[in-house]
Amino acid sequence: VDHQKADWVSIHERICQLLIPIRTSLPFHLSEKERKHGAEQLVKRQKYIINLAYSAAREFVLDGKHEEAIPAALHALRFSTEVYGSNSLQLVPAYLLLAEASTGVGRLPEASKYLSQAQWIVLTTPDCGAAVQYQLHRGLGLFCTAEGNFEQALYHLANDIYLASSTFGLKSVEASGGYFHMANVFFRQNKVDIANSLYAEV
């Protein structure tokens, strides 16, 4: 019951009506044209749910409501898998969100599993862009910080900043996130001067 309630609060209430046409199978006696149209509509609906679920999960994470973020992120992952396949680069944002939410509630083994999945997809996609890679490094950096492995966290966050800066520019909002998380790591190491200079950069 608790699980269902969490799912309802997180995302199900928003997507419940949208799931009905997705779960309803098409009539058997349709023409090729009608079947094709039906399949296109299904994918369109699934993509809409992916965006809705991902946005809801992202919002919960930003509000610090990590537990509520998990069901929404799982829906985003499930529908992304159905639409794009299990090894698609399109799954990486949902995996990273699940890792961040799991880390936020202290489920580090789960977070590690999600990060491994994301890392595997990135490594096996030759034309993976820096825009996805910087997000992966940020996720790995946040995970290492939660584990208390600060040196490894700084390594990943430095890569995050480098990739975000090379893609979006040195003064971009995307790069500022990496600086912020790096500042937090230095602060936890009691290197307050370095932390303050990074906070100022943000």
Per DSSP, helices labelled H in 2-31 are 2-7, 13-23
CB 26 within 8 Å of CB 32: no
Does one domain contain both 12 and 69?
yes
Do 92 and 14 fall into the same domain?
yes
| pLDDT number for residue 75 | 87
User: Is the domain of 160 the same as that of 67?
Assistant: no
- The Cα–Cα gap between 157 and 138 comes to 6
Q: Can you give the pLDDT at residue 110?
A: 95
Q: Are residues 45 and 15 in the same domain?
A: yes
**At 1, is the pLDDT very low, low, confident or very high (cuts 50, 70, 90)?**
very low
pLDDT tens by residue, 47-92:
888 898 899 999 999 999 999 899 889 989 998 999 999 899 999 9
Q: Is the dihedral of CA 129, 132, 136, 137 positive or negative?
A: positive
For residue range 104-163, what is the model confidence (pLDDT) as tens digits?
Answer: 999 999 999 999 999 999 999 988 999 999 999 999 999 999 999 999 999 999 999 999
Is the same domain home to 103 and 78?
A: yes
In this structure, the answer to whether residues 174 and 196 fall within a common structural domain is yes
Query: Structurally, how many domains does the chain consist of?
Result: 2
CA distance 202 to 185: 14
Higher pLDDT, 14 or 171: 171
Output DSSP code: residue 88: -
Q: What pLDDT is attached to residue 11? A: 58
- What are the E-state strand segments in the chain? none
Structural domain of 155: 129-201
What global pTM score does this model have?
0.81
Q: Are residues 21 and 64 in the same domain?
A: yes
Q: Residue 153 has what pLDDT?
A: 96
Q: Judge whether 108 and 143 are in contact, CB under 8 Å.
A: yes
Kindly state the percentage of the chain with pLDDT values over 70: 83
Same-domain check for residues 68 and 157 = no
Residue 28 and residue 94 in one domain? yes
Look at residue 32 in the predicted model and tell me its pLDDT. 74
